[in-house]
Amino acid sequence: MKGASLARPVRRIESVVDAVGNTPLVRLRHVAASAPDVAVYAKLELANPGGSVKDRPALRMIQDALADGRLTSDKVLIDSTSGNTGVAYSLYGAALGVRVRLVMPLNVSKPRKDIARAFGTDIVFSDPMEGSDGAIRQVRAIVAAEPDKYFYPDQYANPSNPLSHYLGTGQEILDAMGDRITHFVAGLGTTGTMMGTTRRLKEHSRPIRCIAVEPADALHGLEGLKHLASSLVPPIYDAHVPDEILPVKTEDGWTMADRLAQEEGLSVGHSSGANVFAAVKVAEQAQREHGGGCVVVIVCDRGDRYFAPMKWERRYVW
Ligand SMILES: Cc1ncc(COP(=O)(O)O)c(C=O)c1O
């Protein structure tokens, strides 16, 4: 056969757990065109095997607990999550032989339940009116009733969550960008991504400004992100870690998610839309004030995870 080979190095791995991380950084040329001298790179966490940024902390929380004996073969992993962490627990639980039980609000979409169940996960439903905080409270009650039966990773309080980003996401960004990176942008959910990645980036010899994204309103449609002022504040959160918090409106996140699909070929979820919306604002400011820069922004998951429940989500009913 004539012509140059298109083959790139292929990794051969022993288990799906070895496929987590090393996600690519892709330059956003169209949606960031308003800051032409600032490079904006999206870190594609959607490329993880479970399709999201939560693969890293879920796997790390399981592995660390197996290593120090908090999780043993007779225990069931239980946590509250209707979304990406649940998919990741289910996937890595299956791969590592750990039974998984998830508590999620009754009104989560059928595809959410189906993905978790496909990996053999057992689901318990909580009051839909109480949202994700209600699911957290229900898990705590179940674990308190039978503490020896369960391993409760509690992603909001577990140091392995930010550690996965300190050792993974942050290190990978520095390895790929070196001294070029001037800004980092990520959303606040459990806050693990922001805490862990920022701590690693702050160790770099050159200053990197780290900006956290949160929904502008308490009732919002940016799934995965928390409006901290009106939520249970995660114990792993340290308000001193981000240099700045940028509020983003639901509409702006949704519109940017549409633009990323149509202009960059990246179908992403709404929290990623919000992160990129904020990253473009940061890039425009760097353009005005410094005439250049390099912004890295986290793209958390894929857009197809949000197809089914679109209509009611758009009315922010949760
Ligand atoms: C879609 C999505 N975006 C953003 C986040 C926030 O990430 P973190 O929990 O690390 O703050 C999450 C995590 O829950 C998520 O599922």
pLDDT tens figures, 102-123: 998 888 777 778 889 999 999 9
For ligand 1, atom 5, the nearest C-alpha belongs to 224
Average predicted confidence (pLDDT) for the chain: 93
What count of Cα atoms within 13 Å lies in the side-chain half-sphere of residue 10? 3
- Strands of 244-248's sheet in order across: 25-27, 38-44, 293-299, 183-187, 209-215, 244-248
Q: For 157-168, give one letter per residue: b (16+ CB within 10 A) or e.
A: ebbbbbbbbbbb
Task: List, chain by chain if needed, residues with CB within 6 Å of any ligand 1 atom.
Answer: 52-54, 83-85, 187-194, 223-225, 269, 271, 300-301
Q: Which of 211, 300, 318 to mutate to test the pocket of ligand 1 (most atoms within 8 A of CB)?
A: 300
Instruction: Return d(Cα 288, Cα 280) in angstroms, integer.
Output: 12
pLDDT in tens, 233-248: 999 999 999 999 999 9
Q: What percent of the chain has pLDDT over 90?
A: 80
Which stretch of DSSP H or E encloses residue 50?
none
Q: Residue 190 Cα, ligand 1 centroid: separation in angstroms?
A: 7
Straight-line distance from the first to the last Cα atom of the chain, in angstroms, rounded to the nearest whole number: 57
Instruction: Return d(Cα 67, Cα 60) in angstroms, integer.
Output: 10
**Which pTM value belongs to this model?**
0.93
> Mean per-residue pLDDT for 75-101?
93
